Structure 1
Amino acid sequence: MIHALLTRVGGTDWETIRLPLVLGLLALVPPVVFREGATYVSRLIILAAIFATLATALNIVFGHTDQLFLFVGALTGIGAYTTALSAEALGVSPWATLLIGALLTGVIGALVCYVAARLQFTVILIAILTLALQFAVIEFFVGARDITGGSTGLIFSGLGFESLQEGFGIHEHVILYYLVLALLGATFVFYEWLRDSTYGLAFDAIRQDEVAAESIGVDVVRYKVLAGFTSAFIIGLVGPLYAQLEGFVIPGLFEFQVIDVLVLIILIVGGMRTLLGPLVGAGLVVWIDEGLASTGEWRTVIFGALLIFLFLYFRQGVVPFADRILNDRFRTRERIATWRES
């Protein structure tokens, strides 16, 4: 493993320092990369961080309990709409209603997992159920014009950045980036803890064999519901930040092909059940997708071909592939060193 290599070379515990190191490097992005007027670049970086957070949330429910959520876009939209509409109705800042949207999405995720677990749905059936919910929720956003504004949506820029912008001259994208980074960092820390806890052990037992897990006392339904609530809650927190980046809330932002397809690709390309896989996958997919913008109508074709290449040659994901390569090189060097000493 990578941490074994680093431990031998520098006497450093990679497992301990990797998360603070990565988050520290990400915190340096705005002063190094963000430039006056370069809102396009800063927007892409924020978007990659948003999708990395969504992919980490999907990693919990799908990667560890085999419950394939194909309504990540719908949950993101519910979080955004609920936050915006409840803030408007109560006459308060969206900061005061942020948890309302997250809790609602968490409850929806938990209910879906409860029904699926009780009825013993396979991963395919869960995918079909959540995909149907995805389309239904988007149609509701469009049809409920009196509530959601329909296809024209709602203006959303209510997270209160104006005072910081005016008082300190900080660009809105810098503030938003650090907010998204804080959520991403908290999600990473939570995921790391969850994976190494008894919950993580129960999740892995369920993923490998539900019948065997239940036979040793694991409450399968309870743990699946917990995974569904946790993932959906995180997705609900992302919703308002995504809306803040775009400046409005419209149904088109949360469609299946806009969010769910990319999030699933990001998770698979980066590496399921890994800490940094969603981050690496988000960076790669967003960079490749935007890099092909100049190809016009060939963009989708080339993007699809590149994804096929990544899936074929990095079947377990980029992060596990890199980990395996470094581990093999370390073992080779160790054998050579042992042979020379002998």
Structure 2
Amino acid sequence: MNGAALAVSLGDPAGVGPELIAAAWARREADELVPFFVAGGPDLLAQAAHSRGISLPITQIYHPAEALDCFDYSLPVLAGIDCDYHPGAPDHAGAELALASLDEACRLTVAGEAAGLVTGPIAKARLAEVGFTHPGQTEFVAAACGVAAEDAVMMLAGPQLRTVPLTVHIALSEVPARLSAELIVRRARIVAQALRQDFGIEHPRLAIAALNPHAGEEGRMGDEETRIIAPAITTLQAEGLHVTGPHPADALFAPRARASYDAALCMYHDQALIPLKALDFDQGVNVTLGLPAIRTSPDHGTAFTIAGKNQADPGAMIAAIRMAGLCAMRRMGEWEF
């Protein structure tokens, strides 16, 4: 990939993020990863790699452009910020490093000095202790890009499925009141545009899930389908988008159904994440749509209980780096990977 490398933030240093970044670099050739650099933590990464038995040469760099010169033989890491490695034992110093790494990686990406951003898994409660005020990394990156939080759309993507939760981290009891035809239309437009721009799908097919069992059974199990979801679908179809639904969620993720769409828009968090994690847990990627910058993240958490024990699977981290690279190349017109 010409021009720039990807920026990767560490995530919480006590979690599995650092060791999985090391494992991803070790598999860079086998998994055809584009060049990336890590925002800080050179000593931390060396120790994390050692915990997995990985020989990890590290080159400390001072500008993202230097990453392209050394990536083939060593992991480029921005110098200047670091902390001790205490896997499974999150602390204040680690939270400070996690926030500093995220901030620097995000800043460089928004400035165009990195081709895209891959964020390691964080512990939000720990970050809040050191001044992190956003609900999550998605909102943090959106704010850095100057995009309203409601226009930063979370998509979970794996080899077998792409899903979008239209409502995310709210109580299930609040979902019906949060849904509106306007929300569905706005998010569906963003998803369709991203599938064209970043995933190379010229005519994206969107399937929209129902909220209630059996799609409400004509109002006998709820009226959100006829009152909210169906009008949104009609609007989107009138705009020329290939949109179907409302589909009963219990049948939407069967193999035959999955072949009929490129992304499924779901009404709430677990409706979208359960099928994705059941099918693609070790290769699931969290992609933020609707931003001028590319941002991906492995679809798993810090996994403190297994950090440093050589048990965490690097598949999702590798998939997140690979997907960010592919999206960046499409945007740059370099789709020859």
Same fold (TM over 0.5): no
TM-score, with structure 1 as normaliser = 0.21
Query: Greater strand share, 1 or 2?
Result: 2
Name which one, 1 or 2, has greater alpha-carbon Rg: 1
Query: Greater helix share, 1 or 2?
Result: 1
RCO (CA 8 Å, sep 6+): is it higher in 1 or 2?
1
